[in-house]
Structure formats: C-alpha cells, structure tokens
C-alpha cells in the first residue's frame, strides 16, 4: 500500500510559524513522526507553496499511489481548482489540519474540499496525520474486501 502525504502553502515553515497553533515540529520532524507509526506502509511526502504543483502531484498520484492525505493550508478555504483535482482523482483523499479550523477565524471554517474528500481530521496537531493515514488504510482495506 502506497500513500502520498501532501502539505500546502506555508507548511514548510512549521516549527517557526505560530507554534502555539501549529505545534513545535518542523515539517521534517512531522514527516518522521508520521513515518514511525507505519512500518508496513509506503509513505511519500510532498510539500509545495504553489497551487499548480499540488494539483500536478494529485494528478500524478493516480498512477502511483493508493490514496492521499492532504493538508492544503489556506488553499482549503478558496481553491476551486484544488477541489476539482480532488474530485477528478480516482483515489480516496483525506483532508487534515493541525489546528481545529472550526474554532478559528470565520474564513477558516469554510472548506471548499471537505465534501469531495473521504474524511477530515482537524485539531489534533501532528497526531492528526497519523489518524488520517489510519483512517485511509482502513478505508482502502474495506473497499478491497467489497
Ligand atoms: C491549516 C489551517 C489553515 O487555515 C491554514 O491556512 C494553514 C494550516 C492547519 O493545518 O491547521 O496553513 O491547514
């Protein structure tokens, strides 16, 4: 099983960007933390500050991966092209946020991708990525059995 974890704009700044909101881990540490929970699963990590590159990575994932976990950063709240890419993608996609976006500014309460994702995890910090991968694995196993 191969899962792609995508992080969007400004998540390369983890560790220095609002650690009280997004946690102490750098992106490298966050990726290592997620990886150490899954020794039997192939995980690949991609981060970009560019919407088009993220969309390309979703298109390319269709050939090479079984599912995607994505934290699109602020693209979550307004990117219809990201939404269309997720909708067009044949793979299950899980949305993840470090912070509890439902408890923050009103613009963050809107996600234009939630309803085209298989599920959303929000507010559990780095552990949310582990939960998202676990949920995705469970879903992939269930659909294989059907
Ligand atoms: C975020 C929440 C977004 O609103 C914000 O723009 C981010 C990070 C989160 O992980 O909590 O960049 O997706």
**Tens-digit pLDDT profile for residues 57-101:** 999 999 999 999 999 999 999 999 999 999 999 999 999 999 999
Whether residue 135 has its Cβ less than 6 Å from ligand 1: no
Q: Which domain holds residue 42?
A: 2-145
pLDDT band at 24 (very low <50, low <70, confident <90, very high): very high
Tell me if the pTM is above 0.95. yes
CATH of the domain at 99: 3.40.50.9100
Whether residue 128 has its Cβ less than 6 Å from ligand 1: no
Number of domains in the chain: 1
The residue among 21, 36, 62 whose CA lies nearest residue 129 is 36
């Amino acid at each position: 099983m191969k899962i792609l974890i995508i992080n969007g704009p400004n998540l390369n700044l983890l560790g220095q960007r609002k650690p009280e909101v997004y946690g102490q881990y750098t992106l490298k540490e966050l990726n290592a933390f997620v990886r150490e929970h899954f020794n039997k699963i192939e995980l690949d990590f991609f981060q970009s500050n560019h919407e088009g590159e993220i969309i390309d990575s979703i298109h390319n994932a269709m050939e090479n991966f079984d599912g995607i976990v994505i934290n699109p950063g602020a693209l979550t709240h307004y990117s219809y092209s990201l939404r269309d890419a997720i909708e067009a993608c044949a793979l299950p996609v899980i949305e993840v946020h470090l912070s509890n976006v439902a408890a923050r500014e009103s613009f963050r309460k809107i996600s234009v991708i939630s309803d085209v994702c298989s599920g959303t995890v929000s507010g559990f910090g780095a552990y949310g990525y582990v939960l998202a991968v676990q949920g995705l694995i469970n879903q992939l196993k269930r659909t294989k059995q059907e």
